[in-house]
Amino acid sequence: MSTVDSSPNANAGVPSATATATPAVGGLLVPAWLAVIVFLVGATAAHIYLHYATHGVVNVHHVVLAFFLVLNVLINFWELGLFACGDQIHDEYEATKVSYKGREGDRVNEVFAKRIPFFKLLSFRQWTLIWSSYALYDPGYAQRHSFGFNIDVGNGFSTIIPATLFAFGMTYDVVSPQILGIVGVAMFWQMFYGTVVYFFQFFHSGRHHGHSKGSIWLFVGASNGMWFIFPIWGIAVSVWMILNNSMAILH
């Protein structure tokens, strides 16, 4: 992934995000933050376009849920990587937990500034720094037996298919409105409940100690909070679809 690593972590065998920005081979390099934005904006825009082409409307419920479900699929990809590359994530965390103590935000910035070879954007190993940097706030993500590790891996395996079904089902008649609503209630409730329990165990186990309130709100609260707010929205829309056996709320 890198040519020369002059960081304090070089001896630990885990290159820094800065070092990984300069691969030994040529080719198109894409900043991680740009890859994320292009995927989120592009996939969400595609859903909005297809919905407009089919129904002639831009619907706020559809736009909000389409964005969230696209985001969830991206996270699902990373969560599958968490499962597949747990040992690498643990090693990266162990190599950086001391040197980045008190400046975890710098590590996060480095992670998203990392340049990834275009043809390796779908490699799980290119995205492990997402988890090893988050583990600086919650070490459980570097431990396969922890709740946080397993709830996210479980989310990755269990919601990617229903999320994709619901996203396209909002536009096309894939299943009946009531069936799609039932799928939505089950999926969104799982997301909501898992997030609530995660927040409880995070604070109850004292994971927040040693970090500023601002960093906790930004890197833990905001990132996980989306799986609290958007699922409530999704449940409300899904219940309406079940009770009315109609997709009118989305059209």
pLDDT score recorded for residue 204:
64
**Under a CB-based contact definition with an 8 Å cutoff, are residues 164 and 181 in contact?**
no
Task: Give the HSE-up count for residue 51: Cα atoms under 13 Å, Cβ half-sphere.
Answer: 27
More confident residue, 238 or 107: 238
Q: Is the pLDDT of residue 21 over 50?
A: no
The string of pLDDT tens digits covering residues 121-164 is: 999 999 999 999 989 888 888 988 888 899 899 999 999 999 99
Tell me how far apart the alpha carbons of residues 11 and 98 are, in angstroms, rounded to a whole number: 14
pLDDT score recorded for residue 131:
93
DSSP string, 195-215: HHHHHHHHHHTTTTTTS-HHH
pLDDT score recorded for residue 100:
83
**Under a CB-based contact definition with an 8 Å cutoff, are residues 137 and 205 in contact?**
no
Q: Is the pLDDT of residue 11 over 70?
A: no
Amino acid residing at 161 = I
The string of pLDDT tens digits covering residues 167-224 is: 999 999 999 999 999 999 999 999 999 888 888 877 767 666 655 666 676 667 777 7
Residue positions counted in the chain: 251
